[in-house]
Structure formats: C-alpha cells, structure tokens
Amino acid sequence: MTSPARSAMQPSLPLPTRAVLLIGIILLVWLAYSGLIGWRTTDVEWWFVPWLEHIIQHGARASLQAPLQVQIEGVNGFANYSPPYLYLLVLASAASDWVSPFLLVKLVSVAGAFFCAGCIYYLLRALASPGAALLGAAASLLIPSVVLNGPAWGQTDMVWSALAALSVAFALRERWAAMMLAFGMAVAFKLQAVFIAPFLLYMVLAYRVSPRYFPLPVLAYAAMMLPAWLAGRPAWSLATIYLEQAGAYRWLSMNAPNPWSFVQYTRLISYETGVLIGSVAAVLIALGFGALSIRWRRLQGADLLLLSVTVAAAMPYVLPKMHERYFFLADILAYALAVARPRPWTISAAIAIQLGSVAAYASHMLSFAMGKYLGALLIGAALVILLHHLRLALRPARRPASSSAIA
C-alpha cells in the first residue's frame, strides 16, 4: 500500500549533500560502536559469554537439545533466552578460533543493530522516498537506545523489535502473509514482540484480513524452534518456553520506565495483586485498540504507523514485570514516525520516548536510581501526545479521503 502523501516526501537535499551526510553517519557509527564495544556488562559476562563458551566446548547439538545450565561465580547462568538467540551464538562460535567470546557476543548485538536498520529502511520506504529512507535508516544506528542496547550492553532487543517493525512495514503494504510470519518470528525470538499484537488485531478487523492467514504466526514460531527440536529438545519444552520464564522474577518493575516503578518503590500493593491488575489492564487496552476498527475511520499510511507507535509504547507502560529495555520497539517506531512525518509533535514524542528509555538504561547501567522514574514521566507525556493525535486521526474525515489526518 502506498501512502497518498508519499510524493510529498521526496527529499529536497541534492545527491552530493545526501552522500556527504551518509558518509558522516558511517564515520560516527564507527566511532561510537568501536568506542563502546569493549564496555563490560553483567549480562554479557555472567550470561551470554558462558552460554557461548558452552557452545564452543560442547557443540551446537548438545547445547540446543536441553536448556543450558552454566554456573559462574555463584550465578545460575540458565539460558532462559529462546533458541533463536542461541542459534546466533552457534553461528558466532564458528569464529571462536580468531575472536574472543566476549567480542563475538558484542558483534552479534552489533549485527542485530544493522539488521534493525535494514528493517527500518523497509518500513520508511512505505512512506518516504528511497533517499530519505536510506538516510533515516542509517541514522537509526545512532539512536541512543540502539547504541546502548547493542555495542555497549550487548543485548538482543534489536532483533525482535526489528522483526516486529517489519511486521508493521508489511501491514502498511497489505502483505498479510508476510505480516503474520514476521510477527511469529518476532515472538519466537522474544515474547515481548506481542506488544505489537493489538496493532495487528486492528489490521485484521479494519482490513478484514482472511482467516487463512491466522495460523501463520504459529507456523513461523514452530519453524524457528525446529533446529532445537531436531537437536533433541522436546517439543513441549519449546512450546512452553515463555511459561517457564514467566515466574523468573518477582518484581513489578525491572527498572522499567512505567508507573509500576513507583508502585514497587512505595509498596502500594503486593506483587500478586500488581500482576493481576496490570495483566487485566493490558488485555483490556489491547482489545480497545482492536475495537477502534469498529466505529472509527479506517487508518491508512502514516496514521497506521502512529497507531503502531502508540501500541508499542502503551503495552509495556501498563504491564508489570517489564525491563528497562522493553520500550525499544517504541523507540524505533517513534523514530520512524518522526522521520516519515516530521512534525513538532512527532519529533517531541520520539524525543520523549527516547529520553525515557535512556534514563531507564541509566538506572541499570550507571546505577542512576531516578532514571526509571524520570523515564516513566517522559514516556507518559509522549503517550498523551500520541493518543491525542491518534484520536484526531480516527475522527471521520471532513475533507477528501486522500488527505492524511496525521498532519
């Protein structure tokens, strides 16, 4: 599906200027990534490196046929990530004779950042010219949360978020099979990809997507688990990975920039009550986003991207048991919206979400305790902006249908 406003998005910059900007971005990426890739984090040293060393010592098959149990300095290094991440470590282990396990783990994360940039490019191409999309995608490598999540922290949120963003990109083009498959792959990589599910529910209802596409996410999930099953891991274990993870932590917030950080600090309610309230609220809000398709104007183009940003920010904002990194999908979608439709409010929302995420990262990486609370306020403000403009976009059009309500 091509946005009606796409012709208005042709870049005004001449080709030489764009080439200079692209070269400058590449140099900045090199400087930032090479400077931060040596940053030591507990996630990498206590978890990912031991997993990779286990793979190197025991081989791929032995490492995939059962959940890894690696003990390091009294820390239980149980590999509670889903098998697709372990597949990436298996691939990285091929270079273990030349590169240290620490650097290999970091390079996997850097590769994830570039994969994310590629998916952002494909998303932007639904709304912008090739030149604008290329510059926007390249510059996404310098988003603070991307730089911190990848080369600095060595985490993997770029991959599942990129696949979820790819699902949105396919939705903008009305490629329903690809949309469902990308969503299933994202969920197989990390459960937090379900944050985008209310957006997909809206697409299914508003665009009357055929039920024949509904099994595709399950098939994609199964396909992603197939190598681990062939290695000998039981199908039931692979199907219930996330059920096992659900009880891993008994905290309402893991430095997440959402209201549950305040609730946890003040001990207003018990853990069990918070999980119940937050889960019910999230389900109701998800159904509410889907219900927008019933009596409101059907969204198109950039208005759909606005909906995806709002959903990606709202779901981890109301859910308990969230980590500081779980707003990464909202980070990149808000950035894409600001690039595709640069307006004061889209830029303000993107900056607020980004600052909120970075503040929460600082709570973990720099022990800045106030970060998560400041982040909750910033992302809350961004949600107010997004919800206001989403309401405007959903109102019945009083002008030609080809006009975009996002302006």
Query: Could you read off the pLDDT of 318-374 as tens digits, one per residue?
Result: 999 999 999 999 999 999 999 999 999 999 999 999 999 999 999 988 888 899 999
Token output for 130: 């090739």
Average pLDDT estimate for 284-313: 92
Banded pLDDT at 245 (limits 50, 70, 90): confident
Token output for 365: 């990486």
Contact yes or no for 338/227 (Cβ under 8 A): no
pLDDT at position 70: 56
pLDDT at position 406: 45
User: Residue 194 gets which letter from DSSP?
Assistant: G
Average pLDDT estimate for 38-62: 89
Percentage above 90 pLDDT, the chain: 71
- Residue 162 pLDDT exceeds 80: yes
Which position has the higher pLDDT, 37 or 395?
A: 37
Percentage above 70 pLDDT, the chain: 90
b (16+ CB within 10 A) / e for 293-331 = beebbebbbbbbbbbbbbbbbbbbbbbbbbbbbbbbbbb
pLDDT at position 247: 66
142: exposed, middle or buried (Cβ count in 10 Å: 0-12, 13-18, 19+): middle
pLDDT at position 102: 95
pLDDT at position 300: 92
Banded pLDDT at 84 (limits 50, 70, 90): very high
Which position has the higher pLDDT, 107 or 295?
A: 107
pLDDT at position 367: 85
Banded pLDDT at 284 (limits 50, 70, 90): very high
- Residue 250 pLDDT exceeds 90: no
**Cut 0.85: pTM above it:** yes
pLDDT at position 193: 96
Q: Which residues contact 54 (CB under 8 A, 6 or more apart)?
A: 63, 68, 70
Contact yes or no for 383/317 (Cβ under 8 A): yes
Average pLDDT estimate for 77-81: 61
pLDDT at position 46: 85
- Residue 141 pLDDT exceeds 60: yes
- In whole angstroms, give the CA distance from residue 46 to residue 80: 13
Contact yes or no for 6/340 (Cβ under 8 A): no
Lowest-pLDDT range of 1-15, 74-88, 178-192, 344-358 = 1-15
Token output for 79: 């590999």
The highest-confidence range among 75-79, 184-188, 229-233, 363-367, by mean pLDDT, is 184-188
- In whole angstroms, give the CA distance from residue 207 to residue 146: 33
- In whole angstroms, give the CA distance from residue 69 to residue 79: 7
Which position has the higher pLDDT, 2 or 166?
A: 166
Cα angle 185, 340, 27 (rounded to 5 degrees) comes to: 80
Contact yes or no for 165/332 (Cβ under 8 A): yes
Token output for 219: 């098939």
Average per-residue pLDDT for the chain: 89
